[in-house]
Amino acid sequence: MGTVRILPPELANQIAAGEVVERPASAVKELLENALDAGARRCQVEIAAGGVGLIEVSDDGSGMSEGDATLAVERHATSKIASLAELGQVRTFGFRGEALPSIASVSRFSLVTRSRDSDAGVELTIEGGAAAATRPAGAPVGTRVTIRDLFFNVPARRKFLRSTGTESGHVTDVVEAAALARPDVSFTLVRDGRPVREWLSAPGRAERVAQVVGDDDLTRCAGTRGPLAVEAFLGRPETARAGAGGLRVFVNDRPVRDRALALAVAQAYGSVLERGRYPRGVVYLDIDPALVDVNVHPQKSEVRFADPRAVNDALYSILSRELSTAFSLPPARRWNPGRPAAPAPALPPPPDPTIEVGDPWGLGGPEPVPPPAAYERPDEPLVAVQDSARSPIRPSPEMRWSNLRFIAQVRHTFLVCEADDGLYVLDQHAAAERVTFDKLRKAYRDSSVSSQALLFPVVVDVTGAEADLVATRGDEIAAVGFDLRVRGPESISVHGVPKLLQKTSPERLVRDLLSEVMRSGGRGFSDAVDLALATMACHGSIRAGDPLSPSEGTALLRALDGAEFAGHCPHGRPVVTFTSWHELDRRVGRR
DSSP 213-238: H-S--EEEEEEEETTEEEEEEEE-GG
Element (H, E) at 551: helix 550-560
Under DSSP, the state recorded for 500 is: G
Q: Would residue 126 be called left, alpha or beta, if left means φ above 0 and alpha means ψ between -120 and 50 degrees?
A: beta
- Cα 242 from Cα 244, distance rounded (Å): 7
Helix%, strand%, coil% for the chain, nearest 5? 35, 25, 40
**φ, ψ at 107 (rounded to 5°):** -160, 175
CATH number for region 347-591? 3.30.1540.20
- Cα 106 from Cα 128, distance rounded (Å): 5
CATH number for region 9-199? 3.30.565.10
401: closest CA among 376, 371, 440? 371
Please answer whether residues 402 and 558 qualify as being in contact, where contact means their C-beta atoms are separated by less than 8 angstroms.
yes
More confident: 420 or 58: 58
CA dihedral 400, 403, 409, 412 (to 10 degrees): 30
| Burial status of residue 12 (CB atoms within 10 A of its CB: 0-12, 13-18, 19 or more) | middle
Decide: helix, strand or coil at residue 305: strand
Confidence of residue 364 (pLDDT cuts 50, 70, 90): very low
Residues, the chain, total? Answer: 591
**pLDDT score, position 178:** 97
Decide: helix, strand or coil at residue 404: coil
- Cα 99 from Cα 81, distance rounded (Å): 15
More confident: 522 or 227: 227
Confidence of residue 237 (pLDDT cuts 50, 70, 90): confident
- Mean pLDDT over 358-363 rounds to 41
- Cα 5 from Cα 398, distance rounded (Å): 75
Confidence of residue 76 (pLDDT cuts 50, 70, 90): confident
Query: Crossing angle, helix 525-539 and helix 506-519, to 10 degrees?
Result: 150
- Mean per-residue pLDDT of the chain: 82
Maximum average pLDDT range among 206-210, 357-361, 516-520: 206-210
Please answer whether residues 23 and 163 qualify as being in contact, where contact means their C-beta atoms are separated by less than 8 angstroms.
no
**pLDDT score, position 186:** 97
**pLDDT score, position 526:** 62
Under DSSP, the state recorded for 92 is: S
Please answer whether residues 294 and 303 qualify as being in contact, where contact means their C-beta atoms are separated by less than 8 angstroms.
yes
DSSP 97-119: S-HHHHHHTTSEEEEEEE-TT-S
* Residue 38 pLDDT greater than 80, yes or no: yes
Please answer whether residues 151 and 107 qualify as being in contact, where contact means their C-beta atoms are separated by less than 8 angstroms.
yes
Q: 413 to each of 426, 535, 548, how far by Cα in Å?
A: 9, 19, 9
pLDDT tens digits, one per residue of 520-570: 654 456 667 777 888 888 888 888 889 999 999 999 999 998 888 888 888
**pLDDT score, position 384:** 27
- Cα 242 from Cα 262, distance rounded (Å): 12
**pLDDT score, position 12:** 67
Other C-beta atoms lying within 10 Å of the C-beta of residue 81: 19
Q: Where exactly are the structural domains of the chain?
A: 9-199, 205-326, 347-591
- Mean pLDDT over 5-31 rounds to 78
**pLDDT score, position 1:** 57
Burial 352-384 (b: 16+ CB within 10 A, else e): eeeeebeebbebbbeebeebeebbeeeeeebbb
pLDDT tens digits, one per residue of 293-346: 887 766 678 889 999 999 999 999 999 888 887 777 554 433 333 333 344 444
Domains 9-199 and 205-326 share a fold: no
**pLDDT score, position 354:** 37
Please answer whether residues 234 and 160 qualify as being in contact, where contact means their C-beta atoms are separated by less than 8 angstroms.
no
CA dihedral 62, 63, 69, 72 (to 10 degrees): 50
284: closest CA among 259, 317, 308, 319? 319
Please answer whether residues 140 and 59 qualify as being in contact, where contact means their C-beta atoms are separated by less than 8 angstroms.
no
**pLDDT score, position 355:** 37
Instruction: Kindly list the strands in the beta sheet with 451-461, ordered across the sheet, starting from the edge strand earlier in the chain.
Output: 451-461, 491-498, 483-488
pLDDT tens digits, one per residue of 135-174: 999 999 999 999 999 999 988 888 889 899 999 999 999 9
**pLDDT score, position 16:** 60
**pLDDT score, position 259:** 92
Decide: helix, strand or coil at residue 54: strand
The percent of residues above 90 in pLDDT, for the chain, comes to 49
- Cα 186 from Cα 191, distance rounded (Å): 17
Other C-beta atoms lying within 10 Å of the C-beta of residue 346: 7
The CATH architecture assigned to 205-326 reads 2-Layer Sandwich (3.30)
More confident: 142 or 379: 142
More confident: 366 or 133: 133
pLDDT tens digits, one per residue of 384-410: 223 333 332 333 545 689 989 999 999
**pLDDT score, position 394:** 33
* Residue 361 pLDDT greater than 50, yes or no: no
- Cα 317 from Cα 354, distance rounded (Å): 44
Q: Which of 84-88, 102-106, 334-338, 564-568 is predicted least confidently?
A: 334-338
Q: Which of 68-72, 450-454, 542-546 is predicted least confidently?
A: 542-546
- Mean pLDDT over 69-97 rounds to 75
